[in-house]
């Protein structure tokens, strides 16, 4: 659980504007028996201009260093990606669902979050 309520309330408001929850269907071909299977990947992303790299590092640090930060100089972007299921579960349990104290404000983000949860 995050003990810094000031960060938590700010972060959840920030997520309404800058973050997204993704569910992606993927297809996998088994080369041995040439069968196709499907799966779902879940992830959480924050994408910002590269000048905000320090902000992403601050966010990651306050989220117990979960996720990975990628820098794309050719696009002048940086992203914090959380893809590992155990990290997503930690995020849900400790950030987005602690008693609904600081709920997401926008309907769009709430719907996407509920798909992941």
Res 19: pLDDT = 92
Question: Strand runs (DSSP E) across the chain, as ranges?
Answer: 19-30, 35-49, 68-72, 77-82
Q: What are phi and psi of 30, to 5 degrees?
A: -85, 110
Res 8: pLDDT = 85
- Taking the C-alpha atoms of residue 22 and residue 113, their distance in angstroms, rounded to an integer, is 8
- Taking the C-alpha atoms of residue 94 and residue 50, their distance in angstroms, rounded to an integer, is 27
Res 99: pLDDT = 56
Res 6: pLDDT = 86
Res 16: pLDDT = 82
Residue spans of the chain under pLDDT 70: 1-3, 98-108, 110-117
Res 114: pLDDT = 67
């Amino acid at each position: 659980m995050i003990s810094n309520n000031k960060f938590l309330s700010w972060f959840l408001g920030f997520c309404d504007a800058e973050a997204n929850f993704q569910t992606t269907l993927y297809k996998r071909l088994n080369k041995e028996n040439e069968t196709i299977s499907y799966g779902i990947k879940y992830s959480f992303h924050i994408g910002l201009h590269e000048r905000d790299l320090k902000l992403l590092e601050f966010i990651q640090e306050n989220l117990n260093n979960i996720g990975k930060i990628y820098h794309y100089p050719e696009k002048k972007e940086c992203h914090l990606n959380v893809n590992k299921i155990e990290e997503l579960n930690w995020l849900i349990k400790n950030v987005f669902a602690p008693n609904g104290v600081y709920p997401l404000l926008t309907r769009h983000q709430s719907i996407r979050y509920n798909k992941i949860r």
